Structure 1
């Protein structure tokens, strides 16, 4: 039986980051690193905090 766990990556995008650049960066992480978006927080000053996650599958030891 395999145990499912997640690895997390937190990113900070300053307010002067264009939307297209942010989209392109997140797409690169998703396509090449198997990351998926868990949370995106947009702050009143325009900055963004992004949390990405990906699955880690660990094989359980059998007897």
Structure 2
């Protein structure tokens, strides 16, 4: 069964699209995060949830 680790990013109302895109690109490229969910609130702020797989080594005898 796959297990995931989650990270949440929040972008305030005044954050430009290009700034948010660059932050998400950096997380994806260097931290191997993938986009799980984006929630846009009425005030214009965004909450982005990122996830990545947890790889566990299986013990062999």
Q: What is the TM-score normalised by the length of structure 2?
A: 0.90
How far apart in 1 are the matches of 2:57 and 2:3? 11
Unmatched 5+ stretches in structure 1: none
Give the CA deviation at 1:62: 3.8
Q: State the partner residue of 2:37.
A: 39
Specify every segment of 5 or more residues in structure 2 that has no aligned partner in the other structure, as ranges. none
Runs (4+) of structure 1 moved beyond 3 Å? none
Count, aligned residues? 61
Deviations 1:13-58 (CA, angstroms, capped at 9, x unpaired):
1001111100000000000100000000011110000000001111
Instruction: Find the aligned partners of 2:39 and 2:2 in 1 and give their Cα distance.
Output: 26
Q: 1:6 — aligned with what?
A: 4
